[in-house]
Amino acid sequence: MKSFYIILALLSYGIYAIDTDSHEENAHCAGNTKLLTIVECVLNHSPEFKKTRIELTAIKGKKIAAAYLFPSNPTIQVMNAYRKQAQSEVTIFNPVAQSAINGEIQASQEFFIGGQRGKRMEVVDSEYAAQIKKVATMERDTTAQALSAAIFYKNSLEEYKITEFLYQNSQDMAKVVQGRADKGLAAGIDADIANAEVSKIARLLNSAIRKRDGAKGNLTVMMGVTFDLSLSIVDTIPDIQLNTKNTQELIVTALKQRTEVDAGVLDVRTAQRRIDLLKRESIPNLTVSAYLQRDGFNENVMGARASIPLRVWRDNSGEVLESEARKDQAMTNLEINQHTIKYEVIRAVTNFNSLREETKSYPQELMKKVDEDLLSIKKALGTGQMNIRDALVAQNSLVTLKLSYIQTQSDYDLSKIELLRSIGFPLLQYTVK
């Protein structure tokens, strides 16, 4: 029993050590972090990105297999037989039964004669080129997801801070009004209104906490760090200088830049090369054999033979038909990707232009004065220069303005990322300074 507890303790320690090493490996991803670091951490941890890169190694293995010089390994056959004359064949003139040992050693090798080896290598080369494009696509999409998650978390923190400030401010205002009501300087209903406002803001605060924690949870899982570690983002997405008036020109650029298009073209090429390979494989391979033999006359024989299978029942017609259908599917997928890219560019340009205009509705001078105005409202209420109802109306107006500004700025930053992603421009070059 004592041994059982010792083993259990060792296993627990081993699991803890593995978990600790994993967290220490990504420790630099927490704390005050820049967007570039977040992107690097997400790319290093993303299992989807790892899976796409591992496929490159698998295709390298297929390329080695396709480069084999012969379609199969050589075979060696050994045969040995003992012959002895039957007793019924023994005669007076041949009183001793005759015997002989027959044997054969044969070596065989199959050879390509239809050029299948070259076609196999062409197929794998196309697969590898297409996979490189798919890795680039996954890297770009993962980078966009990392930046979007980081911006969403950063703005959820700002929303939480303003809501927390509003909640504390509402509590202070409720205490002031309640104290004045207790002294008979304010109506009791004013205190009830102030306390009701505290309850309402508490609900908003809890909602902001859930939004903040959800955004942090999503980002920390993507980065491979624990949720409990502190995490804050010290930079943001800069303004991008890009002419978005000519949407059609951006669509043409996207069709050239997006690696999905190149991958689709290569998939079509790969499908065609598979068809060519199947047609070449309809030409049977030649097998050449050489043998040494001791025959039934106890004589040594040396010879060679050639064999070739007849394509009678299996002519690859079914496989060719299937591959032709796969090629049509690849062409259809390419067309679908092109349609998707066009729509993504149109949507991204529309959102970007709209949100860029919307941000102009929030002058920076006004946004800087919001916090000062909120404090002024609390002071005016405490000195009796403003009643609770007017104070709440003014406070709600200012807080709504600031929350709307935070949401608009968040949407605008996300639209920048989506615009760059949809066109196929390098994200880090435009978004990380």
How far apart are alpha carbons 224 and 221 in whole angstroms? 5
Summarize pLDDT for 281-310 with one digit per residue, the tens.
Answer: 888 899 999 999 887 667 788 999 999 988
Mean pLDDT of the chain: 85
pLDDT exceeds cutoff 60 at 96: no
Residue 251 makes CB contacts below 8 A (sequence gap 6+) with: 341, 342, 345, 346
Residues belonging to the chain: 433
pLDDT exceeds cutoff 80 at 9: no
Residue 92: the pLDDT is: 56
pTM of the model: 0.83
Confidence tier at 183 by pLDDT (50, 70, 90): low
Is residue 100 within a helix (H) or strand (E), and if so which, with residue range?
Answer: strand 99-111
What backbone phi and psi angles, to 5 degrees, belong to 70?
Answer: -125, 150
Residue 186: the pLDDT is: 60
- What token pair was written down for 118? 């070259």
Tokens 């978990």 correspond to 19
pLDDT exceeds cutoff 50 at 346: yes
Q: Is the alpha carbon torsion for 260, 261, 266, 269 positive or negative? A: positive
Confidence tier at 11 by pLDDT (50, 70, 90): very low
Q: Report strand pairing: 286-294 vs 231-233.
A: unpaired
- What token pair was written down for 138? 């996954």
What backbone phi and psi angles, to 5 degrees, belong to 427?
Answer: -65, -45
Residue 7 makes CB contacts below 8 A (sequence gap 6+) with: none
Strand partners, 102: 81
